[in-house]
C-alpha cells in the first residue's frame, strides 16, 4: 500500500480518536454543570430560603402539630368528621345543633363536625362528650378530678364527691397485698397502707409497687406491739426502725403513724414528727370470714370524710375492700388517701 494513503488513514483515525476524546470531555463537563445546578437549586437555595424566613409552610405544619398535641393533652373536646357520613338518609336530615339517636345526644357544628372525648362550652354551658361524641351525665372522671353533669348534660360545679379513705394495716402480705393492689389499680383508687417494719423489710418489692402506684405509706410499728406499754426508748425504736425501712425502699420517710390497737406511744421525738391517724369505721375484717358481712357493715356505718380500717392479710379482706369500693362509688363516694380527708 502506498505510504501516502497509509499516512492519510492514520491521520483520519487520529482525528476520529481526538473527536471522541473531546466529546467525552464535553459530556463530563456538561454532567458536572448539571450536577452543580442541581445542588444549588435543590439544596443550597432552599436552605438559604428557609434561613431567610421562607419556611412558613413548614412552620405552619409544625404549628398545627403543636396545636394538635396541646389539644390531645387537654380536657377540651376535639372536632370529628360528620357523624353518620355513610348514612345518606341521616345526612339529609342533619342540621347544625343538637341531635339524638338510640345511643344518646350529640351536637353537630355548622361545618358538619361534632365534638368528642372532652369538655366543650356550647351557648355558655359546659358539656362532656365521650369518645363517640355523645354527652355524658353523672360523674365524669378526668385525670385525678371528678366532674358532675346533670341529666341534660350540663356541668354542675356545685356538686363535689364526698370523700372516704381506705386504710390497710399490718402489711405487706406476700399472698394478698398484690391481689389488693391489682384491684385498686383496676378501679383507679388510691389507698393508705400502714406497714409493719419487719414486713416491709421482708417484701420490699411490694412496698416499691405501692409507692410507684401512688398509694400513701404510713408507719404501724416494727412488729405490732402495743407502744403504750413500752418505754420511750423502746417505742422510739419501733417507730424509727420502721421509718428507716420504708425510707430505704421508697426514698421517703412516712409522715403518718397508726399505733397498733390505737394506743398512742409515750411521748418521744420520733412520734412528735409524725401525725397519728386512727379510724372512724372498723368492721373487724380480720376476724370475720365473710366479705359480704364486712361490706354491709361499712356501707351502713360510713359517712363523708370517714377513715375505714381494713387489713390486707386474707382473701376475704381483699374481696371486702374491693366490694366496699364498688358499692360506695355507686353512691357517689370518692376514695382518697388519708391526707386528703384530713386536710380537705
> What's the rounded Cα separation, in Å, for the pair 196 and 246?
9
Q: What angle do CA 184, 190, 192 make, to 5 degrees?
A: 110
For the purposes of burial, counting CB atoms within 10 Å of the CB of 114, is it exposed (0-12), middle (13-18) or buried (19 or more)?
buried
> What's the rounded Cα separation, in Å, for the pair 304 and 325?
14
Residue the block writes with cell 374491693: 322
Q: Looking at 99, 169, 285, 306, which residue is catalytic?
A: 169
> What's the rounded Cα separation, in Å, for the pair 197 and 254?
12
Strand bridging mode 145-149 / 163-171: unpaired
Residue 306 designated active-site? no
Residues 6 or more apart whose CB falls under 8 angstroms from that of 63 comprise none
Residue 282 designated active-site? no
Q: Looking at 99, 215, 220, 311, which residue is catalytic?
A: 311
Residues 6 or more apart whose CB falls under 8 angstroms from that of 181 comprise 206, 209, 210, 213, 215
> What's the rounded Cα separation, in Å, for the pair 125 and 153?
9
End-to-end Cα spacing for the chain:
120
Residue the block writes with cell 436552605: 47
> What's the rounded Cα separation, in Å, for the pair 219 and 238?
10
Catalytic residue annotation: 169, 311
Amino acid at each position: 500500500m502506498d505510504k501516502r494513503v497509509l499516512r492519510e488513514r492514520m491521520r483520519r483515525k487520529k482525528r476520529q480518536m481526538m473527536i471522541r476524546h473531546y466529546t467525552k470531555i464535553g459530556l463530563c463537563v456538561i454532567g458536572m454543570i448539571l450536577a452543580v445546578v442541581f445542588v444549588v437549586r435543590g439544596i443550597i437555595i432552599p436552605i438559604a430560603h428557609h434561613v431567610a424566613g421562607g419556611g412558613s409552610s413548614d412552620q405552619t405544619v409544625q404549628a398545627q402539630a403543636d396545636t394538635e398535641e396541646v389539644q390531645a393533652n387537654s380536657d377540651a373536646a376535639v372536632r370529628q368528621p360528620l357523624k353518620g357520613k355513610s348514612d345518606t338518609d341521616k345526612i339529609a336530615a342533619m342540621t347544625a345543633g343538637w341531635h339524638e339517636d338510640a345511643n344518646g345526644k350529640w351536637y353537630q357544628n355548622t361545618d358538619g363536625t361534632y365534638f368528642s372525648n372532652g369538655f366543650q362550652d356550647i351557648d355558655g354551658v359546659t358539656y362532656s362528650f365521650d369518645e363517640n361524641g355523645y354527652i355524658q351525665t353523672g360523674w365524669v372522671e378526668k385525670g385525678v378530678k371528678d366532674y358532675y353533669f346533670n341529666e341534660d348534660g350540663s356541668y354542675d360545679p356545685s356538686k363535689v364527691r364526698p370523700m372516704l379513705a381506705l386504710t390497710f394495716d399490718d402489711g405487706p402480705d406476700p399472698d394478698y397485698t398484690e391481689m389488693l393492689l391489682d384491684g385498686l389499680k383496676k378501679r383507679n383508687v388510691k389507698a393508705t397502707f400502714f406497714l409493719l417494719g419487719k414486713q416491709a423489710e421482708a417484701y420490699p418489692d411490694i412496698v416499691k409497687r405501692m409507692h410507684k402506684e401512688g398509694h400513701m405509706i404510713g408507719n404501724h410499728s416494727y412488729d405490732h406491739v402495743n407502744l403504750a406499754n413500752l418505754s420511750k426508748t423502746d417505742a422510739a425504736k419501733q417507730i424509727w426502725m420502721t421509718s428507716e425501712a420504708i425510707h430505704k425502699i421508697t426514698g421517703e420517710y412516712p409522715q403518718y403513724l397508726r399505733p397498733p390497737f390505737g394506743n398512742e406511744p409515750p411521748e418521744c421525738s420520733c412520734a412528735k414528727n409524725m401525725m397519728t391517724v386512727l379510724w372512724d369505721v372498723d368492721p373487724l375484717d380480720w376476724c370475720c370470714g365473710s366479705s359480704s358481712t364486712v361490706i354491709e357493715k361499712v356501707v351502713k356505718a360510713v359517712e363523708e370524710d370517714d377513715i375505714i380500717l381494713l387489713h390486707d392479710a386474707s382473701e376475704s379482706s381483699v374481696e371486702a375492700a374491693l366490694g366496699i369500693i364498688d358499692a360506695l362509688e355507686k353512691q357517689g363516694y370518692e376514695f382518697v388517701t388519708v391526707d386528703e380527708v384530713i386536710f380537705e
